[in-house]
Copies of this chain bind each other. A is one copy, B any other.
Amino acid sequence: MTRVAPVAHDPDATRVDAPEKTTGTACYAADVVLPGMLHAKVLRSARAHARLLGIDVTLARQVPGVRAVVTGQEVRQAQVAPHGYFIKDRPALALDKVRFEGEIIAAVAADSEAAAVRALELIVVEYEDLAVVASIDAALDAAAPALFESPPQGHVPAYGAGASGRMQPAKNVCFEFDYTTGDAAAFSRCDHVFEDEFRFSRMQHFTLEPFVCVADAANGRFQVWSSTHTPFVLRRELARIFGMPENAVTVHVGLVGGSFGSKSSCRNEPVALLLSRLSGRPVRLCMTLEEGFRTSSQHGAVLRLKTGVMRDGRLVARSSEIYLDSGAYSDASPLVAEKAGYRIPGPYRWDFIETRCMCVMTNTTPAGAFRGFGASQATWASESQVDMIARRLGIDPFQMRARNLLQLGQPFVPGESGVDSDLLQGLQLVADEIGYGQPRLPGHGIGLAIGFKDGGGVNKPAQARVKVSANGDVFLHCATVEIGQGARTALSQVVATVLATPLRRVYCPPVDTDYAPFDQGTNASSGIAVMGQAVAQAASRLKDQVLAFAAEQLACAAHELLLDDWTVRRGDEVFPLAPLIVRQFGGTGFEFTADGFSKAARDHGAPLEAKSVFWEIGWAAAEVAVDRETGLVKVTRLVVSGDAGRVINTLACKGQDQGAAVMGLGQALFEGLAFDADGVLVNTDPLDYRVPLAEDLPASFLAITQEQGHGPGPFGSKGMGEGGMLPVASAIANAIEDAAGVRITALPLTPLRVLEALVAAGSKTQQPVDKDNWLVDNQADTTTTRERA
């Protein structure tokens, strides 16, 4: 209808936050200083499971500079309700018992951090030890103690066709997700059925920026500056647990220094608010890296897959049982369980899918959202097993995948939206890049894998607004949080392109929940695919408004006009907009404003009540060299690729794929929280908890962003940032088998594990080997494989 000047979208634009970040002036929550602000430190439980018999804070209160001390007693007095994503099970501070080592049991606000630390040292805690439930296996043991004697309240997400969820289905299981689709008799038609068990280790998000908030409870209102990336969810939860109206809680978010899922919903904000309310002063609560390890983590998992195939490699049926280690509090576990369970089919066609996924409570760090969100666990198991089956059947793993991949446009499962990438095209790309099928050096092996997840969140609404000053300076209002992923740059680029104005003219102010349009949160790679649509709609409506206005001023039809850098063009005539606006609205000005909205439509026929917004896919090809003496795996080449649909910002997309792949590398080779038998977390700093260093990067490391053009976001774009992580671990495990003939089914792929497998396999090779042998019994990995009839 109305036209916009053909100002080409510029994917090579510099990040809008580059100047502040490179000059050190960027403002993170950690940088917020309020007048009279106190500093808080917390006392953490030394026990993983114990009753709290008493906490004596008398001496702590007497330390000079101490302004407030809180324990569970103050939580109870102030009637602060427990918080939680779905199940409201986590008190602001431990009440009668502690459920994991590191749980907060007291907090002090003082004039300085030093005074607060001194005070903490004087707090005396009396524990009565309880048996510790330190693992999934222990938690499911019939004799295990229950973490919660009476189940906390929560609500179950409503499901449509095929899927269902239950809260507290069994002791120490807080949620169970079940999903079945297709023909249950399919297994009986299979030539082979394989059962394998996989173990998924547990990472910590390891963000550069710590968990931090500044809370001010003065004046009957709450002002919170937080490193959260779900400001509206945090606002709602704080309002709920403190019994305040939502418009008495303002959440401010500037820049966030990395999250990978960790900084969602409520973290330590209730503690800071309690201290602020008691002291009458603003309170800053900034965690250390070590404390971050005791705040949130990924879900460890045990996954049992039973997969039925035809002898030609066609995948037919899959039944899965997934146990997620949720730690001591439920957090996002129900949603992670739903996603892990739902995504277990991977990018393949099946006749039957049956899935059961349980959240198991243990006396360990609570697990929450983590980049990949259930898909990491599912992909690790599924892509390992597909590869194992291919090798067992003597089928080339590439061919095995190729013959089973979903086609472009084919629904993931019945009722779902169609796949919006050509999966084979991506697989071929990474295979070609790594030289799949070509001769390789001795001791080297190549593995492939595909990670596959629905993106954009469940039924997630996003609102955005654009306003433009009389001079053409653009404000983008949206609550998508800049976590480093470049969302604000990309969304600003969308506005600039739609309005045909230079990117430098678009400004996106920090999030303020009082003013910013509502957004469910910056997660599930939703920035461009969900918020991007809302932003593009707002900009497009604004453009229409402006052209309609100009048409009225110029007494012509809007379709005769072209918007171009805050002028309108009619043929060769150029009319700057500012004078037209002043003519109509006076010298004091006016601002055009328009809203945009985006949300997957409810669809009761879809398994999760709404069709997925888009599909996020990561393809990987890894080449490894396995040192048979030490078990050391060296990734010599790594090719990862995601499909951006259309690239909004080249460097941002590349950065996402690279960063995700490196995180996948860490998961594959190094990372994993280690709890001792007492539930004490033993590796909580960069020396003990190994993350990939620059020297760990493969000598050849390639991240290729595809632009297949089928995304629902602006210009055909779709979400990035998680896909690249998903396939890395399984591609490496697959490469290890290719190189060394051993299959490791537990992460991380440490030298010890590989060595044990090599030793075990070596002892086997001394025995006669059946040429057709697909039976592997790797005790180290507790994997059992058997052929069905």
Contacts and interface: CB of A to CB of B under 8 A. Distances in A.
A461 B586 contact: yes
Interface string A77-100: 000000000100000000000000
Contact of A586 (B474, B506, B520): B520
B590 A473 contact: no
A197 interface: no
A591 B233 CA distance: 12
Contacts of A458: 586
Number of copies: 2
Interface residues of A, number: 64
A509 B517 contact: no
B593 A593 contact: no
Nearest to A248: B507
A589 B86 CA distance: 13
Contacts of A507: 245, 247-248, 514
A287 interface: no
Given A220-B20, A248-B507, A461 B587 contact: no
B19 A467 contact: no
A505 interface: yes
Interface string A203-246: 00000000000000011100000000000110010010000011
A520 B220 contact: no
Contacts of A247: 469, 473-475, 505-507
Contacts of A250: 509
A583 B586 CA distance: 45
B517 A591 contact: yes
A482 to B, nearest CB: 15
Contacts of A602: 584
A19 B461 contact: no
Most buried by B among A27, A473, A474, A505: A473
A610 to B, nearest CB: 9
A590 B520 CA distance: 8
A524 to B, nearest CB: 11
Interface in A568-613: 583-591, 593, 595, 599, 602
A33 B475 CA distance: 26
A33 B470 CA distance: 32
Closest CB pairs A-B (n = 6): A33-B35, A515-B515, A247-B507, A518-B591, A509-B514, A247-B473
Interface of A: 19-20, 23, 25-27, 33-35, 86, 155, 157-158, 218-220, 232-233, 236, 239, 245-248, 250, 458-461, 463, 467, 469-471, 473-475, 477, 504-507, 509, 512, 514-518, 520-521, 583-591, 593, 595, 599, 602
